[in-house]
Amino acid sequence: MLHVNAVSKTFLGGQPVHALREVSLQVAAGETVALVGPSGSGKTTLLRLIACHLTPDSGDLTVDGQRVPRPSTAAGAAFRRRMVGVLLQDLGLIEMDTALANVMLPLRLAGVGRRDAARRAHLQLQKRGLDHRSDAPVNTLSGGQRQRVALARALVCEPPLVLADEPTSNLDADQASQAVSDLLAQAREHRAVLIATHDPEVWTRCDRVLHLDDGRITPHG
C-alpha cells in the first residue's frame, strides 16, 4: 500500500536541518505500523511527506500505486482528499465550527453536496458514539471527543492510508486506549495505518515498529 524509497529531506534555513536521510519503508494494506523515535528524529516530516504536505528532496513515495504528487498542485490536493486520512498532532479542528461541520469539510472540499456530506459525516460520528454531539461546537467537546471528531474527519473520505501524529499525546489513559483501538480497527477495513508516537501503549499494540533516529530508520532497540 505505502512504499517509501530512499527519501531525503533537508530544511534550509540559517542552519540546514537534515530531517530525513534516505529513508525507506513499506506498509501493507491491513497493517498497522508504529514510527517511534525521539523528538526531532524526523517522524512528523516523514508523515508530512507521505501526506503530500511537503516535497522530498530525493526519493520516491507511492500510495496504493500512485506516486505522491507535488503538494502545491491540483493533483496534490486530490491526493490529500482521496488517498490519505491524516490525524494531525494538534488535531487541526476548526474550533468554532460544529463537530459535524468539521467532519463534513473534506467532503465539501471534494465537491460532495451538502446533504450527502452531512449524511456521511453523521455516519462517521455515529460510529464513534458522537452523533448526539454533532451540532456542538468543537471547543465545547472534551479531549477524547475532539480526538474522535478528528479521526472521523480523517476517515470520512474512506482513504486507503491513515496517518496519525502522536494521537494520544493529549489524552488520559482511558481516552488514549479508546483512541488507539479506534485507529487500529481501521486496519480491519483493509487500510494501512502509520502512527508516529512516543507512547509504548500505542506501539506495543501495532503489528510492526520502525525506529527513526536522526533521520534514519534504525533497528528498534
Partner 1 sequence: MSALVFALGTGLKDAWRVGARGVLAAVHVAVAALLLGLSAGLAVQSAADLAAAQRLVEARAVSFVVGNPPAQDADVTQLRAAVAGVLAGERGCAVIRSGNGDVLVFGASAASEIASRGGYLDPWWGFTPTPAGSLSPRSPASVAQLDTVAFVDLAARMVLLDPTPDALRSYLQALRQVTDAEPRLVADKIRWDFRSEYQGRVAFLTVFALGMLTTLSTTLSAFSHLLRSNKRGVIVAWALGASPLQVGARWVGFIAAVWSLPALALSFLGLQLVSGGYYAPVVLPWVATVITALTLAGAWWGSRWALADVALESLREQEV
Shortest distance in whole angstroms from residue 136 CB to partner 1: 16
Name 157's Cβ contacts closer than 8 Å, sequence gap at least 6. 81, 82, 85, 106, 107, 110
Q: In whole angstroms, how close is the CB of 162 to partner 1 at the nearest point?
A: 14
Site residues, partner 1 (CB under 8 A) = 11, 13, 17, 19, 39-40, 42-45, 48, 51, 53-54, 72-74, 77-82, 86, 88-89, 92-94, 96, 105-106, 108-111, 113, 153, 157, 215
| Strands (DSSP E) found in the chain | 2-11, 17-27, 32-36, 58-63, 66-67, 84-87, 161-165, 192-197, 208-213, 216-218
Q: Closer to partner 1 at the Cβ: 31 or 117?
A: 117
- Considering the complex, state which of residue 148 and residue 153 has its C-beta at the smaller distance from partner 1: 153
Smaller CB separation from partner 1, 169 or 177: 169
CA–CA gap between residue 189 and residue 130 (Å, rounded): 20
To partner 1, the closest distance from the beta carbon of 86 in angstroms equals: 6
31 or 197, CB closer to partner 1?
197
The per-residue b/e assignment along 132-161, b for 16 or more CB within 10 angstroms, e otherwise, is ebbeebbeebeebbbbbbbbbbbbbbebbb
Task: Output the smallest distance, CB 174 to partner 1, in A.
Answer: 26
